[in-house]
């Protein structure tokens, strides 16, 4: 099937368009879905194409609408609900956790809730404590929810198609800084199955486990590691729940070393689960202590000065990866290759609170 280059946002738009075209029971609803900005371009034009009864805005009523869509899903629709920030979905945890996730199990499998909830996460531009949270570990903790976090445009499209077709509630998490990233995307309805991780780069010395925007960071770090004689394998989880433990364990079995790079908080975070799986299964085969890179256990600060310290820098990512790989110069930056040091210095001279310099705020 032929491929073109699309942005991550365009890939989501295309997947949604194809789902709406393929199945008349699919509907799309969310705050701002038909507005001039179209959820960062991911819903633009769909209202005109499919009409206001299938593509619509909603009141600022996250919990109510989630429950309403649970009911609609039980009665034959396949709704896609969007939240412009994951933080707004918190108001809907009652319906999502108590009803959507459990309906199938608590009624003995007699009914199911095919609901897709898109949630946008992000960081930067001073958004602060209530607009920059990472809650994938929370969703993953709840049995009955599937949780997806794509890193590439192709996976964004393919996983969204699978999410919509899936008979269960699926939380589909998009990092705002990925929306503008481009990559090849197959044209047809190429679904990417839920529950399958992807080896984004092969290597034998250390495994970097990541998802979403962190996968791009892991790949960049792996490039630097290569110049330092370390071959890193990057496992892009893609689906966090259910976790494709086999792919993770397969990689770590080979490398014996692992750094889990996660967007979330540390305490009871997603990285803790990945490390627990590894420890349970591979404790005797590890060549180094398994490690994780996370956010500190603090709410996101607004000030750019505080945010720069809050989010792991590229320098820190590289240092942690080297340490996980037991590289002798992990803690000795002066021994890192000159081009790597120059690149790190270049990155540090840029603002840390924007995805690129074209970004002018406010969001």
Partner 1 sequence: MSALGPSAQARPTAALLRRLLIDVERIRRVEERIAELYAEQEMRCPVHLCIGQEAASAGVSAALEVHDTAVSGHRAHGHYLAKGGDLNAMIAEIYGKATGCASGRGGSMHLIDLKCGFLGSTPIVGGTVPVGVGAAYAMRLRGERSISVVYLGDAAVEEGVFHESLNFAALKQLPVLFVCENNLYSVYTRLDDRQPARPLHRLAAAHGIPALVEDGNDAVAVYERAAELVDKVRGGAGPAFLELPTYRWREHCGPNYDQELGYRPDAEYADWKKLCPVERLRERCLREGVVDAAELKALQERLEAEIDEAFRRAKQAAYPEPGPSPVYAGNDPDE
Ligand X SMILES: Cc1ncc(C[n+]2csc(CCOP(=O)(O)OP(=O)(O)O)c2C)c(N)n1
CB atoms within 10 A of CB 336: 20
Among 104, 277, 308, 315, binds partner 1 (CB under 8 A): 308
- Choose the contact partner of 289 out of ligand X, partner 1, none; CB within 5 to 8 A by kind: none
Residues contacting 202, CB < 8 A, separation 6+ = 231, 233
53 lies in the binding site for partner 1 (CB under 8 A): no
Minimum CB distance to ligand X, residue 321 (Å): 36
Could you say which of 310, 311, 333, 341 contacts partner 1 (CB under 8 A)? 310
Helix (H) or strand (E) holding 79: strand 78-83
One character per residue 246-275, x = contact with partner 1 (rule: CB under 8 A)? ------------------------------
> Active-site residue 131, yes or no?
yes
Closest distance of CB 265 from ligand X, Å: 21
Instruction: Compute and round to an integer the Cα radius of gyration of the chain.
Output: 20
Q: How far apart are the first and last CA of the chain?
A: 36
What SS3 state is found at 76?
A: coil
Q: Would you give the binding string for ligand X spanning residues 233-252, x where CB under 6 A is met?
A: --------------------
C-alpha span between 84 and 32 (Å, rounded): 8
Tell me if 23 contacts partner 1 by CB under 8 A: no
Between 3 and 57, CB nearer to partner 1: 57
- Collapsing DSSP to helix, strand or coil, 295 comes out as strand
What minimum distance in Å lies between the beta carbon of 351 and partner 1? 8
Which positions from 91 to 120 touch partner 1 by CB under 8 A, shown as an x/- string?
x-----------------------------
Which residue in the block uniquely carries the two structure tokens 């996980």? Answer: 324
**Coil/strand/helix, residue 17:** helix
Residue pair 269/283 in contact by the 8 Å Cβ criterion: no
Smallest CA-to-CA distance from 215 within 190, 193, 240 is with 240
Q: Which of 14, 31, 83, 131 is the catalytic position?
A: 131
Q: Does 360 bind partner 1 (CB under 8 A)?
A: yes
| In contact, 290 and 117? CB cutoff 8 Å | no
Residue of 31, 62, 174, 320 marked catalytic:
62
Q: Nearest-CA neighbor of 205 among 288, 145, 143?
A: 288
91 binds ligand X (CB under 6 A): yes
- If one asks whether residue 57 binds partner 1 (CB under 8 A), the answer comes out as yes
C-beta closer to partner 1: residue 37 or 287: 37
Give the x-and-dash track for 271-290 against partner 1 (CB under 8 A).
Answer: --------------------
Residue 59 within binding range of ligand X, rule CB under 6 A: no
Q: Which does 233 bind (CB under 5 to 8 A by kind): partner 1, ligand X, none?
A: none
326 phi, psi to nearest 5 deg: 60, 40
User: Using CA atoms, how far apart are residues 342 and 16, in angstroms rounded to an integer?
Assistant: 42
338 a catalytic residue: no
Contact yes or no for 11/5 (Cβ under 8 A): no
Contact 338, 360 (CB under 8 A): no
Q: Give the active site residues.
A: 62, 131
Q: Which residues bind partner 1 (CB under 8 A)?
A: 31-32, 35-37, 57-64, 87-88, 90-91, 125-131, 296-299, 301-306, 308-310, 351, 353, 360-363
């Amino acid at each position: 099937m032929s491929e073109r280059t699309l942005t991550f946002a365009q890939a989501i738009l295309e997947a949604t368009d194809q789902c709406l075209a393929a199945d008349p029971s699919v509907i799309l609803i969310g705050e701002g879905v038909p507005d001039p900005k179209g959820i960062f371009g991911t819903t633009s034009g769909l209202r005109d194409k499919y009409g206001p009864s299938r593509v619509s805005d909603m009141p600022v009523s996250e919990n109510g609408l989630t429950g309403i869509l649970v009911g609609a899903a039980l009665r034959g629709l396949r709704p896609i609900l969007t939240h412009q920030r994951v933080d707004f979905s918190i108001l809907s945890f009652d319906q999502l956790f108590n009803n959507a996730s459990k309906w199938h199990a608590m009624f003995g499998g007699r009914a199911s809730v095919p609901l897709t909830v898109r949630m946008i996460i992000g960081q930067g531009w001073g958004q602060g404590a209530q607009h920059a949270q990472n809650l994938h570990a929370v969703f993953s903790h709840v049995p009955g929810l599937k949780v997806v976090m794509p890193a590439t445009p192709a996976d964004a499209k393919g996983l969204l198609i699978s999410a919509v077709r899936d008979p269960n509630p699926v939380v589909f998490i998009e990092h705002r800084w990925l929306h503008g990233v481009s990559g090849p995307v197959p044209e047809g309805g190429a679904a990417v199955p839920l529950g399958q991780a992807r080896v984004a780069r092969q290597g034998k010395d250390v495994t970097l486990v990541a998802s979403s925007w962190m996968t791009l960071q892991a790949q960049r770090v792996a490039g630097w590691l290569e110049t330092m004689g370390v071959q890193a394998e990057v496992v892009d989880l893609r689906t966090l729940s259910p976790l494709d433990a086999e792919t993770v364990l397969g990689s770590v079995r080979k490398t014996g070393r692992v750094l889990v790079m996660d967007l979330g908080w540390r305490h009871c975070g997603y990285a803790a689960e990945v490390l627990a799986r590894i420890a349970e299964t591979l404790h005797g085969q590890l060549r180094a202590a398994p490690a994780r890179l996370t956010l500190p256990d603090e709410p996101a600060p607004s000030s750019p000065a505080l945010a720069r310290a809050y989010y792991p820098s590229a320098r820190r990512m590289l240092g942690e990866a080297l340490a996980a790989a037991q590289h002798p110069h992990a803690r000795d930056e002066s021994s890192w290759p000159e081009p790597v040091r120059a690149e790190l210095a270049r990155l540090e001279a840029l603002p840390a609170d924007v995805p690129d310099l074209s970004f002018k705020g406010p969001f």
